Amino acid sequence: MSNRLFPAPHDVETIPGTEGWQRMYPYNYSFTKNDVTRKQYEEGMFWFYDGLHYPEPTYPFDLIWDEAWYLALSQFNTRIFSVPPVYGVDHRIINGYVYISPVPVKDPKEIEERIGHFLERAGYYYQNWDALTAKWEEKIKATISSLEAIKIEPLPALEDKQVVFDGIGESKGYHLLKAYDEMIDLGIRCWQYHFEFLNLGYAAYVTFLDFCQKQFPDIPAQRVTQMISGVDVIMYQADEELKNLARSALELGIEKTLLAHRDFVDAERELKQVPPGRTWLATLEKARYPWFNVSSGTGWYHYDKSWNDDLNIPFSSICIYIEQIQKGASIERPLEAVRRERDRVTAEYRALLPNGEAQAAFDQLLQTAKTVFPYVENHMFYVEHWFHTVFWRKVRDVAAIMKEHGFIVDIEDIWLLKRGEIKDALWDLVTAWATGVKPRGPAVWPPEIEWRKGVMQKFREWAPPPAVGIPPEVIQEPFTVVLWGITNDSLKAWSKVRDAKNLDDIKALTGFAASPGMVEGKARVCRGADEIRSLEHGEILVAPTTSPTWAPAFAKIKACVTDVGGVMCHAAIVCREYGMPSVVGTGHATAIIKTGQKIRVNGSTGEVTIIE
Amino acid sequence: MTMPLVCWFQECNRDSLALVGGKVSSLGELIGAGIRVPPGFAVTTHGYRQFFETDGMNHKVHVRLNGLDEHDAEALDSVSAEIREMIETAPLSIELEDQIAEHYRHLSTHCNVPAVPVAVRSSATAEDLPGASFAGQQDTYLWVRGVDDLLAKTKRCFASLFTARAIAYRLRMGFDHEQVALSVGIQKMANSAAAGVMFTINPINGDRSSIVVNANFGFGESVVSGEVTPDEFLINKISLDIVRRTVPQKEIYYAVDRASHSCRRLDLPAERQSVQSVLDDDVTELARMGKRIEQHYGRPMDVEWAVDGDMPTGSNVFILQARPETVWSSQQPPAAPAASKSAIEHILSSIMTGKTMA
């Protein structure tokens, strides 16, 4: 078919030199040609590239979270809440990139039947939202504690005597296999909880958004978000801990020691010498758990470092706050002003509605959206940040043992293996250890990993089409509605950049208008949160994404531009609080803009221009 | 209280219609609402009547109109010319002349411009006298300077009530010529660097949270008449930021022609054609004023505005006219979902509707 908008899924060609890449991912993720029924189904569906979650090709191990949400989201839609017109969201991989497709319910009679169940079941969740989310918090905390309690221990040449004297009857080899299984199980469980509320939350948000857009066709998404956003969001707590540590350092008179060092290890050594230093270190240690489990990225990928992984990140932020206080600047969040502004915006929109009936509907939908939104904002701290941070660390502990036994050359090689392959390798490793022979793995995995690294590189250089298959007229799946709305627009804007021959020729970028206003200034590209100390006052921050880890940067800058994110992302929320312009989700700002360039950021239109 | 012959705009409001006519009373109303309007004053209908009571002018006019046949075009024309000639050459009373001159001097001092150029316009009391809507409705003299010229143009406005067409209309409707009255507005000429219209609603989709500004260089005529595709700004009414802008090529503009006291169409120099005609800050200021005007009147408004090139940024945006927007305001609002539905029912219907793929 020549007149189609998007290529057919089976027509996308394998990149030369990557033949056989399918074995890097679960077999059910490949588009198939030899299963006629499945092929027909795949051809009739619309698969869009989930570029928001997967800007890069996915590492085989990292696909665990994709599998986890594939299962979780779908089961809640299809089997638990019975969302009437949609089942789940199907997943595939093309050349390393994840494509997803919402599955509609086609039989009108079935939709009718599902409505009754939905009203009863989802209705119960909406009605008991607060009680159920309180229960959720208990469940998720218990899951995280279980993960933290898992011990990954090296395999001894001879087991400890106590194994005998206590009559334990189990080996460290068995424990390693068991620990790995438990980790994986907890990860999947954690994502079960992740989607328990999320799609219901999105559905309520979309309902309010729909209403606002119908009444006010021009309303920017950032305004809708502003009306329903919470102010005391748990994601901010980590930053509050840093501010407290800055204040405490000044009270204890140890700020000079902190400011004198770039590396936390050096500062720590000196602080340990004096009692106030030790007091401060104790406060720091208390703040670390759980708050320093925030990731400096989204937490979604293995390469997102948390504060606990690299104390230089929070250390650098504490120093910025100390300097701010010394200068007499306020480091408090302007909570009252934020609330006032939110209430003003809400009241003004409400007053513009045509009549009392519309106002009553507005009030009701706003209230529902506000009830569900704290979950939408807060779940990330528990799942993507706290749980994932601990999880990535445990996987690295497993990797250390595999490296010790020659299964991988470097700890970071583990991400090139599927979770099932790791399980197989660990069996090989443990049985060989138990048997007292050489394992098979050291000759199998390192060359395979080398080959996969080459494939990943080729994947990175390939541009995934925004979608494959046949677009439906209407999308009804709430998560997809939110995601596609974001993804489709971004991909269109990004394609211009992708098609450019020379990155230096690109002088303009488009992203989401996240926080209004327009400024010009000098750009500072910071690829990681550990670089924010180099920011100078009045510069414009250009970053891959931001999280609470980056919060101190906002006290110095006058605008913010990010590669990834939507109107609900951290940078957007914080910039609105500070009243500074922000454009997020530009796709490629950190690749195109260079430190020192003069740029113009228009947070009202979403445009970023390189001036000189 | 005696009726003033002349009064300042700021002394007027929506209750001053009979005294100063629609245009001036609405400018006074805007000033009262805290809106920046080019300063000025009005010769009131009382001043107009006094003129007609001086030297038996009423009688002279009456005599000439007596027995006139509304269908006799030739007679209408000649009588009209005669009456207008009479009005334009008759002196004003010393009292009225003094007051106009005094106000004009004050205005010049206030604007810090000697013999300040003004626009002289008739302001009709159309509401209580339908015939008056014919009364020299287009009579506007731009760039009038000095007391003598001002007095002459004021009388010309008076005379505009006696065009052949206006006379015929009153004859047909049976209105007494002596009941006709008119006010004349005298307003500082904005040195219009840019001008245009503003809607405090999106005229395309009826969104009440938007403000749309159309602009071009020079006077607003090029925008009002549709002779150019103007610069267009979409402003969010709640945050006052510019959400979208288009700056097309604009080939012409209007500037004042001092000799003819009117607006003249000119070509825009090539290098200015694609330049944004109004600064972002001025657009924001304009939107802020638009929002206030809407709040004052309690409904979406259609506004004419200008940026005065003589004034510093921050005090250079002026409102020239404001009237209710009529297109969307007369339509049904979008149907709101029934408030009686429960949250889950709203959500269900939103899911069932889904999102249409663009």
**Positions of chain B with pLDDT under 70:** 1, 126-138, 333-340, 357-358
A5 close to B (CB below 8 A): no
* Model pLDDT, residue A182: 98
* Model pLDDT, residue A3: 43
Say if the Cβ atoms of B339 and A357 lie within 8 Å: yes
- To which H or E segment does residue A518 belong? strand A518-525
**Long-range pairs for A228-233: beta carbons < 8 A, 24 or more residues apart:** A228/A366, A228/A369, A228/A370, A228/A373, A229/A342, A229/A373, A229/A377, A229/A568, A229/A573, A230/A370, A230/A373, A230/A374, A230/A377, A231/A335, A231/A338, A231/A339, A231/A342, A232/A335, A233/A374, A233/A377, A233/A378, A233/A573
The shortest C-alpha distance from B342 to chain A (Å) reads 8
SS3 B358: coil
B178 close to A (CB below 8 A): no
SS3 A456: helix
Distance CA B289, CA A298 (A): 43
* Model pLDDT, residue B165: 83
A223 close to B (CB below 8 A): yes
Which residue out of A111, A199, A218 would a mutagenesis test of the B interface target, given it has the greatest number of B Cβ atoms within 10 Å?
A218
* Model pLDDT, residue B128: 44
SS3 A426: helix
State the ipTM, two decimals.
Answer: 0.82
Contacts of B38 (CB under 8 A, 6+ apart): B187, B188, B189, B190, B306, B308, B318, B320
For chain B, give the mean pLDDT: 88
Pairing, β B192-199 against β B210-217: antiparallel
Please tell me whether the overall predicted TM-score, pTM, comes out greater than 0.95 for this model: no
Hey, what are A81's tokens?
A: 């809440």
The beta-strand segments (E) located in chain B are: 6-8, 40-43, 118-124, 140-144, 182-188, 192-199, 210-217, 231-236, 242-246, 252-257, 262-267, 301-308, 317-324, 355-356
Distance CA A237, CA A231 (A): 11
Longest dimension (CA), chain B: 81
Residues of chain B with CATH 3.30.470.20: 192-324
Say if the Cβ atoms of A488 and B358 lie within 8 Å: yes
DSSP letter at B218 equals B
The shortest C-alpha distance from B242 to chain A (Å) reads 6
HSE of A378 in the Cβ direction (CA atoms, 13 Å)? 18
Residues 116-145 of A with CB under 8 A from B: 118-119, 122-123, 126-127
Contacts of A309 (CB under 8 A, 6+ apart): A389, A393
Positive or negative: CA dihedral A33, A35, A40, A44? negative
Model confidence over B218-238: pLDDT tens digits? Answer: 999 899 888 899 999 999 999
Distance CA B209, CA B192 (A): 28
A609: how many CB neighbours lie within 10 A of its CB? 14
Which of B242, B336, B355 lies closest to A357 in CB terms? B336
Say if the Cβ atoms of A368 and B238 lie within 8 Å: no
Say if the Cβ atoms of A358 and B333 lie within 8 Å: yes
Q: Using alpha carbons only, how large is chain A's radius of gyration in Å? A: 26
Hey, what are A242's tokens?
A: 């840093």
Hey, what are A484's tokens?
A: 């596609």
Residues 98-157 of B with CB under 8 A from A: none
Model confidence over B287-328: pLDDT tens digits? Answer: 999 999 999 999 999 999 999 988 888 889 999 988 888 877
- By C-alpha distance, the chain B residue nearest A360 is B339
The shortest C-alpha distance from B341 to chain A (Å) reads 9
The shortest C-alpha distance from B332 to chain A (Å) reads 9
**Positions of chain A with pLDDT under 70:** 1-5, 231, 483-499, 567-568
A483 close to B (CB below 8 A): no
Report all structural domains of chain A as residue ranges with CATH numbers, in order of start: 234-335 (no CATH), 500-610 (3.50.30.10)
* Model pLDDT, residue A14: 95
Distance CA A28, CA A11 (A): 18
Do the beta carbons of residue A52 and residue A464 sit within 8 Å? Answer: no
* Exposed / middle / buried, residue A330 (Cβ in 10 Å: 0-12, 13-18, 19+): exposed
B291 close to A (CB below 8 A): no
Q: Which residues of B touch A492 (CB under 8 A)?
A: none
Q: Which residues of B touch A476 (CB under 8 A)?
A: 351-355
The shortest C-alpha distance from B35 to chain A (Å) reads 20
Say if the Cβ atoms of A119 and B345 lie within 8 Å: yes
List the end-to-end C-alpha distance of chain B, in Å, as a whole number. Answer: 66
Say if the Cβ atoms of A211 and B348 lie within 8 Å: no
* Model pLDDT, residue A570: 76
- Give CA angle at A25 (A19, A29), nearest 5°: 95
Longest dimension (CA), chain A: 81
Q: Which residues of A touch B210 (CB under 8 A)?
A: 216, 218
- By C-alpha distance, the chain B residue nearest A121 is B344
- To which H or E segment does residue A68 belong? helix A63-75
* Model pLDDT, residue A353: 94
Distance CA B311, CA B104 (A): 20
* Model pLDDT, residue A4: 56
Contacts of A408 (CB under 8 A, 6+ apart): A399, A402, A414, A417, A445, A446, A449
A349 close to B (CB below 8 A): yes
Q: Which residues of A touch B333 (CB under 8 A)?
A: 354-355, 358
Residues of chain B with CATH 3.30.1490.20: 6-188
Do the beta carbons of residue B258 and residue B242 sit within 8 Å? Answer: no
Q: Which residues of B touch A473 (CB under 8 A)?
A: 356-357
A85 close to B (CB below 8 A): yes
B331 close to A (CB below 8 A): no
The shortest C-alpha distance from B147 to chain A (Å) reads 47
Residue B176's alpha-carbon distances to A17, A443, B124, B169, in angstroms, are 98, 113, 16, 11
Model confidence over A542-565: pLDDT tens digits? Answer: 988 777 778 888 888 999 998 877
Given phi > 0 = left and psi -120 to 50 = alpha, else beta, which region is A565? left
Distance CA B246, CA B240 (A): 17
Say if the Cβ atoms of A218 and B210 lie within 8 Å: yes
Which residue has tokens 């049904």? B332
Residue B120's alpha-carbon distances to A351, A466, B105, in angstroms, are 39, 62, 15
Say if the Cβ atoms of A364 and B355 lie within 8 Å: no
- By C-alpha distance, the chain A residue nearest B300 is A352
Contacts of B267 (CB under 8 A, 6+ apart): B251, B252
* Exposed / middle / buried, residue A519 (Cβ in 10 Å: 0-12, 13-18, 19+): middle
Taking one residue from A and the other from B, the number of pairs with CB-CB distance under 8 angstroms is 140
A364 close to B (CB below 8 A): yes
> Nearest to residue A377, comparing CAs of A585, A191, A572, A230?
A230
- Asked, as a colleague might, if the bond just before B39 is cis with ω within 30 of 0, I would say no
Say if the Cβ atoms of A126 and B333 lie within 8 Å: no
Model confidence over B74-100: pLDDT tens digits? Answer: 999 999 999 999 999 999 999 999 999
Q: Which CATH number fits domain B6-188: 3.30.1490.20, 1.10.10.10, 1.10.1740.10, 3.40.50.300?
A: 3.30.1490.20
Which of B207, B241, B354 lies closest to A217 in CB terms? B207
Distance CA A592, CA A285 (A): 39
Do the beta carbons of residue B220 and residue B192 sit within 8 Å? Answer: yes
The class level of CATH for B192-324 reads alpha beta
